[in-house]
Structure 1
């Protein structure tokens, strides 16, 4: 007959309980990590970390502070393209016409009979003053203002430009047309001959101080344009073919110069 002393009962209970405690801890997943809380040297008690909702409670059982909540969800942000600073207005300047091949100066746009279309002069008192506000590279074309009450803008009038023929648009004083417009009947100094004109055709290079012009045909096509000097009547035009117009004049460029 087995005789169990009463003093051995606590030890026996501890031996019987320990395997179950150890086995139960093995069923906790990493998601619900279990820590052992020692309180007053009592048997280790499993505590679910998820119930510890304050940093103080976590520190009492030897855990670190709660991870801060993420307020912003990272997302891809498209980089902004920096915009060029606007260029200042250019006032009281004159337009010099030079030959492209050797930079020889033909003269300046004249204010004499500007209502009939500008010709070239070398006399300083007859030189046409202009003003404009240039746009940055890649932006819309702009107007050039001139001193003419009836037709206050400098532009071109003529037929569609053809890169395979000797067509040309003549520089004229005209009324305003918007950027990107094809030639329209707004009124110009040569309306009886060329009823359709464009004014907002200009671009400006602040480094070279040269002007360029973009003529738009009636079908919205944009042919390459070259300034052309016609010595027979001392006028400037815009052509799309250098070879086809070679018998009538010379390839030129327009340079903005201080008055």
Structure 2
């Protein structure tokens, strides 16, 4: 009888240990609790940081849409240089956002007004479109994209380390992402830097940034290239996250969508106005 009691006690201990081990195994759905943006925090208003959409700052297309005359042409004066320099060609235009995704096609613009988290989203309203200037120099080096009607103190369109990231790096088989927002300037080829940005201004969460990550082709299509902390150049894919109304850069679309659901691959281009 005593042997039977001891056997039952031992069996109970083993069962208890197995249950404890099972409870310690992470749930396969644990990724579902990952949030693209922080929740339950008080966001800082960004109104004071935004450039007013006044007639002076409007493009010709925006002025015409409001019944205003076009801007007066600007006179450009050329000063001869004593040494040859690359031929940099400034281009100003509305920042178009396109996607041919079958489930969520995009045919509009990047919104000049960021969402409450300081991230740039999507609009079909041309009047609300971000107006940017790019100055490629023909040597293929990364350039800045500068907005004239968005976050006035942080006018550079740049990548900002995502809230749920475990590092400011993009990697295969990882969901890490860089939201697009207003940032201060960083150097071409620079690794992630500490710097003011619209996301941190809105949330109070300090994040790394990069600004000079863009190249532009002859058709005006922009491509981004993030630089990891070790200087490596990862795959950098532009997506739109409809659940957050935010554009982001990711290194692995499948891994990102497994965590944050649908994110159509998108394209930015500068449409002269």
When the two structures are superposed, what TM-score results if normalisation uses the length of structure 2?
0.58
Offset of 1:224 from its aligned partner?
Answer: 1.2
Structure 1 stretch displaced more, 171-180 or 248-257? 248-257
Structure number with greater CO (CA < 8 Å, separation at least 6) is 2
Unaligned runs of 5+ in 2: 1-83, 162-167
**Which of 168, 171, 191 lines up with 2:177 in the alignment?**
168
SS in 1 for 2:197: coil
Give 1:231's aligned residue.
Answer: 242
Offset of 1:87 from its aligned partner?
Answer: 4.4
When the two structures are superposed, what TM-score results if normalisation uses the length of structure 1?
0.61
Structure 1 stretch displaced more, 153-162 or 191-200? 191-200
Contact 1:166/1:239 (8 A) holds in 2: yes
Offset of 1:151 from its aligned partner?
Answer: 0.4
Moved over 4 A (4+): 100-103
Unaligned runs of 5+ in 1: 1-82
TM-align CA RMSD: 2.4
Structure 1 residues 184 and 131, CA gap change in structure 2 (3 angstroms): same
CA deviations over 1:144-184 (Å, ceiling 9, x no partner): 11133210111001121112111110001000000110111
The number of residue pairs the alignment matches comes to: 174
Contact 1:84/1:136 (8 A) holds in 2: no
Alignment of 1:213 with 2:227, yes or no, is no
CA deviations over 1:80-137 (Å, ceiling 9, x no partner): xxx996241102x111111144694342111224792222111122111100101325
Give 1:96's aligned residue.
Answer: 96
CA deviations over 1:18-62 (Å, ceiling 9, x no partner): xxxxxxxxxxxxxxxxxxxxxxxxxxxxxxxxxxxxxxxxxxxxx
Matches within 5 A, 1:160-199: 160-191=169-200, 192-199=204-211
Return the index of the structure with the highest Cα Rg: 1
Give 1:107's aligned residue.
Answer: 108
Alpha-carbon distance in 2 for matches of 1:236, 1:98: 11
Contact 1:100/1:253 (8 A) holds in 2: no
Give 1:34's aligned residue.
Answer: none
Offset of 1:245 from its aligned partner?
Answer: 2.3
Alpha-carbon distance in 2 for matches of 1:249, 1:119: 13
Give 1:251's aligned residue.
Answer: 265
CA deviations over 1:186-224 (Å, ceiling 9, x no partner): 111112335210000010001x32100110111111101
Matches within 5 A, 1:1-259: 86-91=87-92, 93-101=93-101, 104-113=105-114, 116-137=118-139, 139-147=140-148, 148-158=151-161, 159-191=168-200, 192-206=204-218, 208-246=219-257, 247-259=261-273
